[in-house]
Structure 1
Amino acid sequence: MDDRPSSPAEGTDGAHRNALDIYPLNCYFFGSKDAVTFKDETLADRVGRMKLNYDTYGLRTCVQAVLLVELFKHPHLLLLQVRNSIYKLPGGRVRPGESDIDCLKRKLTSKLSMEGHGSWEECTKLYLVRLPASCKFIVPKNFNLLAIPLCQIHENRKTYGPIISGVPQLLSKFSINVVEP
């Protein structure tokens, strides 16, 4: 993982920051690990818990990784699929006193073993993580890591939600180069 993730929403410091090299999906290795346990709670319970956490701790900040690969000569976004219906970007909640980058590294390591119901619940920051030419992803058995074409994600809020469906637009300022190994 690049030590300097860049945010698609932030300004760039030169033309090279607008060029993004992506590598073919077959350059990466995938495995599985023990399943992640989920809390058995209703949606109302979850919203109540999140509201209580907000009232107690304030605004919750989350970071999420935008990971791109090439498949069939097109860029694809790596998404986690949970319970065969929910799509998520890898990432999670920032701990008190933790930097965004440290949190993102921790979450990518824990989720992939890789070195909304109101505006009150969280502030999410997206980071473009420039993948190395090769690495290994280890995914919990009850998750799927899928490579979804950007053209399928674009403006598809119903399936992917508002954040993920907006990623292709955020990436439009980048020149994407497919690097053949």
Structure 2
Amino acid sequence: MPEATLYPLENYTFGAKDAQPEEDPSVATRLKRLEHDFETQGMRRTVEAVLVVHQHNHPHVLMLQIANAFFKLPGHYLKPGQDEQDGLKEVLNHRIGSTDPNDNVAEQDWVIGECLSTWWRPNFESYMYPYVPAHITSPKEKKMLYFVHMPPNKVLSVPKNMKLLAVPLFELYDNSARYGAQLSAIAHLLSRYDFNYSN
């Protein structure tokens, strides 16, 4: 059983950075852009980070909340040909990395662990599946969720138009009605880890 050390939420400092508006004003616009990108670049690859801390010796996943309603993991799609782990580090620094130029460069580095799950978008629709449906020969998007090992402490800067929340696993478990299939599955994905709760 793989092990992972979790540190308390209180160990992390939360700052603010400029807002990062969504690229598309609606789901329909986003899917239209995906269709355009698919024609020019092929299948989109997206990476997202599962960042885990603890409160009262229970794992909590750090998630971004947009408009007090929509939850998502820190992540983004990759440039064509970009390495997945290097791309995820770049995305994390952009999304929630410290904005202080005096922070040590090493402080900005992230330890990317294993890929926890892969989700596939078979068509230009919002549905994604943890497998490629049998009749699909050309999926439109591949999304990979990576476990990212948090250091004992870190400065995290959150875009002003978002909140960074620590969501307990018991809240995610079997709660696809609120969090959707991908996020509610994280509790299952993390069950294979033996967590060490540090101070």
Pairwise TM-score range, normalised by the shorter structure: 0.7 to 0.9
TM-score (normalised: structure 1): 0.85
User: CA offset at residue 155 of structure 1?
Assistant: 1.8
Alignment equivalent of 2:55, drawn from 66, 71, 74: 71
Supply the distance in 2 between the matched residues of 1:173 and 1:27 (Cα, whole angstroms): 25
Alignment equivalent of 2:151, drawn from 119, 126, 132: 132
Alignment equivalent of 1:55, drawn from 21, 35, 39: 39
Return 5+ residue gaps in structure 1 as ranges.
1-14
Which stretch has the larger CA shift, 138-147 or 151-160?
Answer: 151-160
Task: String of CA shifts for 1:67-119, please: whole Å, max 9, x gaps.
Answer: 00011221100000011111011111111121001111001100001516245
Percent of matched pairs sharing the same residue:
37
1:25 aligns with 2:34: no
- One-letter amino acid of the counterpart of residue 126, structure 2: H
1:117 aligns with 2:126: yes
1:82 aligns with 2:66: yes
Structure with higher strand content: 2
How does 1:153-168 map onto structure 2 within 5 Å? 153-168=172-187
User: CA offset at residue 39 of structure 1?
Assistant: 4.1
RMSD: 1.6
User: CA offset at residue 35 of structure 1?
Assistant: 1.1
User: CA offset at residue 168 of structure 1?
Assistant: 0.9
- One-letter amino acid of the counterpart of residue 51, structure 2: L
Supply the distance in 2 between the matched residues of 1:117 and 1:51 (Cα, whole angstroms): 12
Supply the distance in 1 between the matched residues of 2:192 and 2:57 (Cα, whole angstroms): 19
Match of 2:76 in 1: 92
TM-score (normalised: structure 2): 0.77
Supply the distance in 2 between the matched residues of 1:108 and 1:39 (Cα, whole angstroms): 17
Match of 1:37 in 2: 21
- Residues matched between the structures, number: 164
- One-letter amino acid of the counterpart of residue 31, structure 1: G
